[in-house]
Structure formats: structure tokens, C-alpha cells
Amino acid sequence: MDEERSSMKLHITVNGADRRLEAPPNTLLVDLLRRQLGLTGTHVGCDTCQCGACTVHLDGRAVKACALLAVQADGHAVTTIEGVGSAQQLHPMQEAFRDCHALQCGFCTPGMIMAAIDLVEHGVPLSNRAVREGLEGNICRCTGYHNIVKAVLQGQKAMAAADDKQGAV
């Protein structure tokens, strides 16, 4: 029952780049990203679709890459933590996490940031409570969330400011 079915051809935009890929149908998106593309910033912290460490964006919305087949991303755009900012130029949300000490061991951090960016981009104006509820799909064991909430609120402001700046240019 586990004989390898033939691989499927996939066309996925990964972090802005057009990728032509092949994977068997039973490949989870998170495994395609981690094993085939070497994008190991997306982590696996559970097997029940609860912890959110594998959160990526699919067409701009946060989804759990452990509950999505790679083939379901065919024809769509996937953004991972590696695609939102770099060491040279952190995304405002990444910068806010650093500034607020919103990470310790770092394992949940990529998923947390991907969830936070979606929350800011698609959520209502955020309050402390709204951020806490909006992060319901992400578990952190280190920080007690205090600084994460602070960072998301700060990141929200920074993202708005960055948008304004861009709008002005």
C-alpha cells in the first residue's frame, strides 16, 4: 500500500520565484519546503495541526503547511519565513520581534511571525486582546507570549509606517 505513486509536476511560486517541482501526491507542503527546497525555517512541532510552527502564507494567507498537500499549492504562491525578510533587511514584524525580545529558543518564531503578519494584514485594528486571540493557532513554550503580543502591536505600527512611506514614494 506504500508503493511510490508517480510524482506530480507542480508549479508553485515560492518566495516570489517560479518553481517547477515534482513530488508524489502524498507529500505535505511542509516536507516539500523543508526537504526538497531546503527551506528549513518552516518547522514541524506537532502532528495534529495545532502548534502553528509550520505556518506559511498561501496566496498571502496564513496556513499550516502540515495540513496541506504540496499538490494543493500547485498554481499558487507560497511565502515562507525565508521570503519575508533577510538578515540584511528584516521585515518590520521580524524587527519588532527582535526589539521586544519576543523569541527565546526560536523554534515557534517563524510560524509566529507568519501568523502575525497575516493578522496585521487581514485583521481588524489590533488590541492586546485581539492579538492574543489572533495567535490562537500558534503555541510558544518559552516566552509566555507577553513579549510576542508587544511585538505584534509594535510590528503592526511599523508595517503601517512602512506602507505609508511606500505610498508616499
Residues 57-116 interacting with another protein (rule: CB under 8 A): 58, 61-64, 66-69, 71-72, 80-82, 85-87, 90, 94, 97-99, 101, 103-110, 113, 115
Residue 143 CB, shortest distance to another protein, in Å, is: 5
* 16 touches another protein by CB under 8 A: no
Residue 18 CB, shortest distance to another protein, in Å, is: 20
* 127 touches another protein by CB under 8 A: no
Residue 158 CB, shortest distance to another protein, in Å, is: 14
Read off the DSSP letter of residue 52. -
Residue 169 CB, shortest distance to another protein, in Å, is: 25
* 17 touches another protein by CB under 8 A: no
The residue ranges of DSSP E strands in the chain, in sequence order, are: 8-14, 17-23, 55-58, 61-64, 77-79
| CB-CB neighbours of 154 under 10 Å | 19
Question: In Å, what is the CA distance from 162 to each residue of 19, 71, 101, 110, 159?
Answer: 29, 34, 21, 21, 5
